[in-house]
Structure 1
Amino acid sequence: MPHDDFTPGTVWLVGAGPGDPDLLTRKAERLIARADIVFFDALVGPAVLDLVPPGVERVSVGKRSGRHSKDQGTIDELIVAAARGAKRVVRLKGGDPSIFGRSTEEITACRAAGIAVRVCPGITAASAAAASGVASLTLRGLARQLTFVTAHAKAGEALDLDWAGLAGADRTLAVYMGRAAAAEVSRSLIAAGRAADTPVMIAVNVSLPDERIIRGRLDALAFLAAAISDRDPALLLIGEAVVGTAVATHVEYEVA
């Protein structure tokens, strides 16, 4: 008999990918099917949640900018309490748990409580966005570095990033949660030396039926982002590698 990796009282942090259930790993689907309780983020796609079996408890613990349903400490406590109740616990996270997913806090809480916890990776939004745009995240000779940053900052605080380091022409920059900070990202990168005509791509609701790919230049980034609702998650991709090819099935804007 194969080893059971999901015994009662175990927690799995599962990457739900960008939203399309076809982009889940087979392992993620298997774990979801065996769960007794699923704690899920706001960015988990509805079609992914449809894979949770009937009768399995589903608990929304989503946090969106300005609309936090539960603080991180409460989420940690809920996960630990469910595992102590001998439940098989899935903590379902949009994208990959290790990329801006606050997985460390939940892993630490489980370990402190003596709860077995493991991680199932998922496809992160940057990879899905490049695929949707038929583009690459790296490019031989032009984009030898790939950097992930988050544009999310605490209310009232400036976006504190190493703009000089991020402005290198030989890198692709993926900016998560970047819609609201688009003007600052554009202004700061150009001030630090990145060319104003650097290609940019904004992926909105990546991999979902209402996905949009918006293309343009770095100096037009704020204008491009202004067309996006604050309810729609958006990822910014900046660099020569993301030029890609327009896909006819997408609603797409291009600003030269």
Structure 2
Amino acid sequence: MKPGKVWLVGAGPSDPGLFTLKGKRVLQEAEVVVYDALAGQAILSMIPEDAEKINVGKRASHHLMPQEEINKILVKKALEGKRVVRLKGGDPFLFGRGGEELELLKAHQIPYEVVPGVTSAIAVPAYNGIPVTHRDFCSSVHIITGHKKKGDTYDIDFEALVRTKGTLVFLMGVTALADICDGLLKAGMPADMPAAILQQGTTAGQKRISATVSTLPEEVQKQGIQTPAIIVVGEVCALADRFAWHEALPLAGRKILVTRPKELISQMAEKLRREGAEVLELPAIKTEAISENQKLKQSMEAIQSYDWIVFTSPTGVRVFFEKLAEHEADIRKLAAAKFAVIGSGSEKELKKHGILADLKPEIFDGEHLGSSLAGACTGEERILIPRAETANQELILELQKVPDVQIDDVPTYRTLYESSELIDQKAEFEQGKIDFAVFTSASTVRGFAQATKGLDFSLVRAVCIGKQTKQATDELGMQSWMSEKATMDSVLDKVKELCRKQL
């Protein structure tokens, strides 16, 4: 069998915006993914659903699998002819033991590529307002591993480091902070040299403790620190308070769960990230078109007879036009029809097909769509509503108030619930790691509930896009708020408002 190929991919420090374009492409084409604990949750969420996933741990002193075993797995899976991605936090060649993994691949003549990643040694100081070089302070930066085996002494020439007069960045050195600072002081570094320890950079857990080389260990004892964290020593640390930018963003320090249909790229997640939030973006549902659909077939055959075609979701629009193409129906047969949409998302999806909506209610829900459409009808219209198999009946009840109107309520797709095999959503809420969950439909609420069975839903603070969605969260006992309008921008405004109130 022809061997497969291995890609060593650096995932960066955690923020998905710092994951390289090539890294993302390679990951999405993977058949096997061997991943580290330091690869951020947002990156792990990009792993293809059908890929084999192997967790090898490797955080600080806690390893699920020895390095030698990891090397063997890469060889084994590649010899099976698979496309293998070794996903590593940061950069694979910066204390990532990527070179060791390549040694065995080379020995077995297995093809490989290295996809560099953004290293935390540069990115995390940057997110804390610390430029690792600055012409007024230093002209070099030195990256040192702070890791050593228990009971061993450091094999570091501290005197040489002090003589560089450059910025020193220690990775994996939290447990040895006192030893590192002591070694620098004994090597002649001034006691008042600025220093900082930077926790969980680029995530909601980002935290900075600034001090001096002589006082940093004591400050860490007082304030506490969590791993992963890096240590930065040098004059540039004094710039942190002046240059800090990330912590000034409205949603910095907040972690928000966004649920969405699997097929859709979430605009909501991107809006939240731009405001500084760490977003855990997980599909709660997926949709699939109903294959054997006699009712839809009949509607397609008589498509030119409809006066109105009504869409209640972007998915409904997408599936309708897919089915139209499958039935080889000429789109010109829609010329006599008018189009109504429930809101901006459906309107935007409809525009992709070159059609502008004739009707959109001021309030984006089924009741107001129904009453608006009823007001536009004279009583003899024929209306097609291609939508989800299980759908709210408020729209139909409003339309039925119009005499002689003919309604064809046609299910075109069904909703299935999804859950992540890599991220334990239930534990995230139980441990208080998520500030808010954003729901953009009642179906995503139900999907979330299915994925977190056993969770005390009163722990969930939910921000909802409309009253039906809020009703679904209320039924589960969540703490819930509803946006002023049924738009993503309004949901974002509500999240920011709640954060300003320190809720």
Does the pair score TM above 0.5? yes
1:160 matched residue in structure 2: 155
Runs of 4+ in 1 over 6 A off after TM superposition: none
What letter matches 1:29 in structure 2?
K
* TM-aligned CA deviation for residue 160 of structure 1: 1.8
Contact (CA 8 Å) 1:179, 1:228: kept in 2 or not?
no
RMSD: 1.7
Normalised by the size of structure 2, how large is the TM-score?
Answer: 0.47
The separation in 2 between residues aligned to 1:111 and 1:14, in whole angstroms, is 17
AA in 2 matched with 1:48: I
Residue 187 (1) aligns with residue 185 (2): no
Distance 1:224 1:234 in 2: 15
1:3 alignment partner in structure 2: none
The one-letter amino acid of 1:107's match is L
Give the Cα–Cα distance (whole angstroms) in 2 for the partners of residues 242 and 217 of structure 1.
9
Distance of 2:233 and 2:98 partners within structure 1: 26
The one-letter code sitting in structure 1 at the alignment partner of 2:7 is W
Q: Per the alignment, do residues 104 and 202 of structure 1 end up closer, same or farther by CA in structure 2, a change over 3 Å counting?
A: same
Task: Mark the runs of 5 or more structure 2 residues left unpaired by the alignment.
Answer: 254-503
- Greater Rg over alpha carbons, structure: 2
Is residue 97 of structure 1 aligned with residue 92 of structure 2? yes
Distance 2:169 2:99 in 1: 21
Aligned to 1:108: 103
Q: SS of 1:195's equivalent?
A: coil
Query: How far apart in 2 are the matches of 1:97 and 1:83?
Result: 18
Select the residue among 13, 20, 24 that pairs with 1:18: 13
CA displacement at 1:149 relative to structure 2? 0.5
Runs of 5+ unmatched residues, structure 1:
1-6, 252-256
Is residue 234 of structure 2 the alignment partner of residue 236 of structure 1?
A: no
2:53 is matched with 58
Q: How is 1:196-215 mapped onto 2 (pairs within 5 angstroms)?
A: 196-215=191-210
Separation (CA, whole Å) in 1 of partners of 2:208 and 2:124: 8
Residue among 28, 52, 61 paired with 1:33: 28
1:8 is displaced (CA, Å) by 6.9
* TM-score scaled by length of structure 1: 0.90
Q: CA deviation at 1:169?
A: 6.2
- Structure 1 position 216, deviation (Å): 1.3
- Give the letter aligned to residue 12 of structure 1: W
- Does the Cα contact within 8 Å between 1:169 and 1:239 map onto a contact in 2? no
Hey, what's the Cα distance between the residues in 2 that align with 1:118 and 1:242? 36
- Does the 8 A contact of 2:194 with 2:235 survive in 1? yes
* Alpha-carbon distance, 1:228 to partner: 3.6
- The CA deviation string for residues 23-52 of structure 1, in whole angstroms up to 9 with x for no partner, is 101000001100001101111111110011
SS at match of 1:219: coil
> Which deviates more, 127-136 or 80-89?
127-136
Tell me the alpha carbon deviations over residues 170-205 of structure 1, each in whole angstroms, 9 at most, x when there is no partner.
200000011111111111101111111111121111
Give the C-alpha shift of residue 56 in structure 1: 1.1
Listed one character per residue, the Cα deviations across residues 92-134 of structure 1 (whole Å, up to 9, x for unaligned) are 0110111100011101110101101110001101111121112
- The one-letter code of the counterpart of 1:111 is K
Give, in whole Å, the separation in 1 of the partners of 2:239 and 2:137.
Answer: 14
1:76-87 equivalences under 5 Å are 76-87=71-82
Offset at residue 142 of structure 1 (A): 2.6
Q: Distance in 2 between matches of 1:169 and 1:109?
A: 36
Residue 212 of structure 2 corresponds to 217
The question of whether the paired residues in 2 share the 8 Å contact of 1:147 and 1:173 is answered with yes
Higher helix share: 2
CA displacement at 1:229 relative to structure 2: 4.6
Which amino acid letter does the alignment assign opposite residue 198 of structure 2?
Answer: A
CA contact (8 A) 2:4 2:111 kept: yes
Partner of 1:122: 117
Report the 3-state secondary structure (helix = DSSP H, G, I; strand = E; otherwise coil) of the residue aligned with 1:119: strand
Count of residues in Structure 1 that have an aligned counterpart in Structure 2: 244
Task: Assess if the C-alpha contact under 8 Å between 1:167 and 1:190 holds in 2.
Answer: no
Q: Which deviations, in whole Å up to 9, do the C-alpha atoms of 1:47-83 show, x marking residues without a partner? A: 1100111111111112223322111110000000000
What code does the residue aligned with 2:134 have? L
Q: Residue 48 in 1 paired to residue 58 in 2?
A: no
Q: Is the 8 A contact 1:182 1:225 kept in 2?
A: no
